[in-house]
Structure 1
Amino acid sequence: MKKSILYIISILGVSLLLLNSCRDDEKTLFSYGDDILDGAIVYFAEEPPLVLGVNAVSEVLYGGDIVDPLGNVATYDLEMHASLSGVITDTVLVGSYTSFPFNLSLTSQDLADLLGVDISDINFGDSFYFSGTVTSKNGIVYYGEAPEIGDDGSWIPNGRTQIEAFDPTNGYKDGFLFDFTIGCPSDSYDPGSVAGDYNAFSASWGIDGTVSITVDANDPTTIYVAGITDLEGQPSHTPMTWHINPETNVVTVDPVVICANYYGYPDMFYRGGGTIFPCAGNTFSMALDPQILNLGGWGAQSFTFTKL
């Protein structure tokens, strides 16, 4: 089964070094095949939030100043699609831009108009995904498509940006691939309403069943998620430990071993994080990477935990 294959990310440090060099030295060159080309990249002058907490959907205002640091961009085309209450929309063109820097500013009404939906169709927990394509002044096209990972752990670049513009933690420099989710208001987290049974679902990981969540008696921002590997017939000996930031509703996961014998592998645990949506029934949207201690993992999988 798919869980019998692991990968080891052995060049994480090298990739991060390349990213930092690209931001610090704007004359970094981009390679493609046997050619060496001047890079044509764009990014936000100040990176926007991944989760935009608002009191009402009508208050959404997302964006920032997008810059062309090398002065090599002729055209920047930006596309978007969304996940609205779990339904994936068509991809639409946000705009084509030829003058830099420019301010990208999108209200909830703008998003609705672009997608051809009513603003009432946009809710807390909905996500919006953007992909940029850059045409340089010498006609080379760079586009936001993440590298794949080979069996040996090496990056297999797609598009023209290669790994020099790729951060394995956050994706491409934020002008090529970026997204945001509409979050609940700050301080809306209520530990008294979190405990209970949840449906844990992941299409990519093949999970669909019930887990239980309890709240730490001494720390209401720490919760325990029990029973997730049991859904695969692999008994867990301890629950996952999650921490909730009540100001941002961001969830972080402690890398605690939860299963001593996972399909024959010792010491299985999850890394990752996500967001809780207290104003949407305490739903959790999580990106969890199943790992085997000292061996590696299977990559981040999308999970949703919905209170029953």
Structure 2
Amino acid sequence: MKRFKILSMIVALGLFFCACEDTNDNLVASRDVAVVPVLTGLTPESPIFTDFTVDDVSFTVSLEDGDAVDAAEIRVAYDGNEEFLQDIASFPSDITITAADILTALGLTSSEIELGSEIAVYVMTTSDGVTSRSQAAFNIDIPCEFDSSITTGSYGIVCDGWGVDSNVSITADEDDPYIVYIAGLAEADACTGNGNTMKVIIDPVSYQLTGDTERTIVADDCSGWAAAYSVYTNYSYTLKSGSFSTCDGSYEIVFELEYLYEGESDYSSWGDYTFTFTR
């Protein structure tokens, strides 16, 4: 983990410079071809439709100072079908689109939308006769029904950035099916755990994840793999963000990893890393 960081940084720098050289021609060729609108204020931040009679999503579309377009519109796409939704008359523009609007545009009923799929929403602009799909885009998830039986069990845990590929166990709260506890995070990182578990709260509407605001210390001493550097204690995980898939029971969680360096009282951080948990 920590011992691989310097090498990883060197490799990353090498890849960065290579990428700059390889893509320079493309960047030059694409200049001034299309205006790029800006999408902000996406509400909810992670759109999800569970009821096509009432659900909606809102956002603001604007242009950078000095930019102008001949026309702009919002389009939606689902399962290979792409359709016009509405024009954007001016910028900035505050927009709200409903699930019913999308169904009408796509010519579908709610029963024809497959659970576990997603609907793409994006802005198309026309400038100087060139029409292009912009980076102002997002996806709306269509989740499966919540099934508490697939929230727990034995899970594989993988984090390429932190070098973890192991197993943990997840158990449910006795009183609340939307609360689970992850055990084995320390052992998955080749440390000796102290028995503490990570509390994870599943939002019953968005299926986004939250946890305790304070860090969870999963190992009192992680000096085994860090011995070459010194002694690291109070190895901890803090849940920053995450999501739960109601279709396959998988979790994707961003943890901040922290520790106390020998003789210090203030925590130091190794940064944020994305971990995938698969049943």
- The TM tier, using the shorter chain, reads 0.5 to 0.7
Residue pair 1:51, 1:183 contacting (<8 A) in 2 also = no
Match for residue 45 of structure 2? 50
**Secondary structure of the corresponding residue to residue 212 of structure 1:** strand
Q: How does 1:268-279 map to 2 (within 5 A)?
A: 268-271=235-238, 272-278=240-246
Match for residue 304 of structure 1? 276
Per-residue deviation, residues 158-186 of structure 1 (Å, max 9, x unmatched) = xxxxxxxxxxxxxxxxx98885562526x
- CA distance in 2: counterparts of 1:300 and 1:178, whole angstroms: 25
Q: CA deviation at 1:129?
A: 11
**Secondary structure of the corresponding residue to residue 168 of structure 2:** strand
Per-residue deviation, residues 92-115 of structure 1 (Å, max 9, x unmatched) = xxxxx995124597969x99xxxx
Per-residue deviation, residues 49-104 of structure 1 (Å, max 9, x unmatched) = 332222499x9986633135x85444699xxxxxxxxxxxxxxxxxxx99512459
Taking a change above 3 Å as real, the CA distance of residues 222 and 60 of structure 1, as seen in their structure-2 partners, is: closer
- CA distance in 2: counterparts of 1:298 and 1:194, whole angstroms: 28
Is 1:247 the counterpart of 2:205? The answer is: yes
Structure showing greater Rg: 2
Is 1:212 the counterpart of 2:169? The answer is: yes
Is 1:284 the counterpart of 2:251? The answer is: yes
**Secondary structure of the corresponding residue to residue 243 of structure 1:** strand
- CA distance in 1: counterparts of 2:251 and 2:202, whole angstroms: 11
Q: CA deviation at 1:128?
A: 7.6
Given the two structures, how large is their TM-score scaled by the length of structure 2?
A: 0.55
Residue pair 2:209, 2:243 contacting (<8 A) in 1 also = yes
Taking a change above 3 Å as real, the CA distance of residues 55 and 195 of structure 1, as seen in their structure-2 partners, is: same
Structure 1 residue ranges without an equivalent (≥5): 7-39, 78-96, 112-118, 131-174
* Structure with higher RCO (Cα < 8 A, 6+ apart): 1
CA RMSD of aligned residues (A): 4.8
Query: Of the candidates 231, 234, 241, which is equivalent to residue 267 of structure 1?
Result: 234
Query: Of the candidates 267, 270, 273, which is equivalent to residue 295 of structure 1?
Result: 267
Residue pair 2:49, 2:56 contacting (<8 A) in 1 also = no
- Aligned residues with identical type, % of pairs: 20
- The one-letter code of the counterpart of 1:213 is I
- CA distance in 1: counterparts of 2:276 and 2:166, whole angstroms: 11
Is 1:101 the counterpart of 2:61? The answer is: no
- The one-letter code of the counterpart of 1:258 is V
Taking a change above 3 Å as real, the CA distance of residues 43 and 296 of structure 1, as seen in their structure-2 partners, is: farther
Match for residue 182 of structure 1? 141
Structure 2 residue ranges without an equivalent (≥5): 7-35, 73-87, 107-111, 123-133, 261-265
- CA distance in 1: counterparts of 2:171 and 2:181, whole angstroms: 5
Taking a change above 3 Å as real, the CA distance of residues 216 and 61 of structure 1, as seen in their structure-2 partners, is: closer
Taking a change above 3 Å as real, the CA distance of residues 4 and 98 of structure 1, as seen in their structure-2 partners, is: farther
- The one-letter code of the counterpart of 2:184 is G
- CA distance in 2: counterparts of 1:220 and 1:303, whole angstroms: 22
- CA distance in 2: counterparts of 1:127 and 1:253, whole angstroms: 28
Taking a change above 3 Å as real, the CA distance of residues 180 and 289 of structure 1, as seen in their structure-2 partners, is: farther
**Secondary structure of the corresponding residue to residue 257 of structure 1:** strand
Residue pair 2:157, 2:166 contacting (<8 A) in 1 also = yes
Taking a change above 3 Å as real, the CA distance of residues 42 and 281 of structure 1, as seen in their structure-2 partners, is: closer
- CA distance in 1: counterparts of 2:160 and 2:119, whole angstroms: 17
Is 1:200 the counterpart of 2:157? The answer is: yes
Match for residue 192 of structure 2? 235
Q: CA deviation at 1:232?
A: 2.4
Per-residue deviation, residues 124-162 of structure 1 (Å, max 9, x unmatched) = 3779899xxxxxxxxxxxxxxxxxxxxxxxxxxxxxxxx
**Secondary structure of the corresponding residue to residue 187 of structure 2:** helix
Residue pair 1:128, 1:179 contacting (<8 A) in 2 also = yes
